Amino acid sequence: MVKILMLDLGETLVHGTESLFPHVPEALEAFGQFRAADGDPLATCLVSDFGPTDPRPTPEQVETAFREYVSLLERLHLKHFFEPVSRHVTLSVQVGVRKPDRRIFEAAIRRLGLSAELSDCLFITEDAGHVAACRNLGMQTLRFGEAGGSDIVFQDWSEAPLLVARLVGHPSIANLKLALELRLNVSHELELTSIRDIDPSGRIVAWANRWTPVPVSRSDRSKTIEVPIPVEVEVHLAPVGRIRTLSVSEPEPEAIEEATIHLETLEANHRIMHGAGPLTGDATYRFETDASGQRRLKRERFTAA
């Protein structure tokens, strides 16, 4: 049973020292809401080789290295995912050994203050050698980066929560919903709203909102704007947890007609702001243009000022 998610930092979450890989914050946000199979929160922590390689560093060296590491997390806007850092960050300089020595992972468990074994841990890293060594220690593993060998590998952090959800194996659908929500949003611009059915084969039937062009008025259907319309989604997951196939229904004509009437009502009541700048007056919505030039209706507040 996976109770603890351990993460490498360099070239796993971060490229170099300044650039996060895409969708890392979204994945960490999802992990922060995951539950283990026993219902407790899934513990997350960083385990990194950092600081002097001397097996017996001085207390001053340890303190300096830890302070530098935390400063790096702050610059990357990652620190809040691992608070308090005194529990959720374990560095080689603090333990006197480097990965994949089992002692650094055991130290990470102790710092978390949890009753767990290495077999209760899942480690994600880009290092294939560390993945193999951790498996030999009885740990679960995932590898970020280029595919190769028999490792379960992913190249997009928006996919990671689905893979982790399968390994954690929490009996409720909460983890799966969080994971699927992120992946569908990134890969298909679908906003998951609810899961209707799951069967043991890995088939999931859900409802989601899809950005759909609708006429801005019934009198002039030549002009359209994209609004979120409910659609049915059917997903088939592969055994490792990633999406194997996806089918999305077409929006119902009645839903598109209702959206058009809603647009007309919003316009008549001056609830839509055209152009940039803060919302003013009764406006609660705004027309925005995406990178492809398509206009979308975005809700920015729920009541007028």
Is the CB of residue 232 less than 8 Å from the CB of residue 271? no
* Terminal Cα-to-Cα distance of the chain (whole angstroms): 50
Per-residue pLDDT at 289: 82
C-alpha 110, offset from chain centre: 26
| Collapsed DSSP state (helix, strand, coil) of residue 72 | helix
Q: What is the DSSP string of 95-116?
A: HT--TT-HHHHHHHHHHHT---
Is the CB of residue 243 less than 8 Å from the CB of residue 183? yes
Return per-residue pLDDT of the chain as tens, 305 residues. Answer: 899 999 999 999 999 878 999 999 999 999 999 999 999 999 999 999 999 888 788 999 999 999 999 999 999 999 999 999 999 999 999 999 999 999 999 999 999 999 999 999 999 999 999 999 999 999 999 999 987 777 899 999 999 999 999 999 876 789 999 999 999 999 999 999 999 999 888 899 999 999 999 998 888 888 899 999 999 999 999 999 999 999 999 999 999 999 999 999 998 998 888 777 787 788 888 888 877 778 898 888 766 54
Per-residue pLDDT at 303: 60
| Strand 203-215 to 224-237 pairing | antiparallel
Per-residue pLDDT at 159: 97
Helix (H) or strand (E) holding 134: helix 128-136
Here the tokens at position 106 are 């055991």
Per-residue pLDDT at 304: 54
Distance CA 165, CA 180 (A): 10
Distance CA 133, CA 107 (A): 17
Q: Domains in the chain, please, with CATH?
A: 4-168 (3.40.50.1000), 189-299 (no CATH)
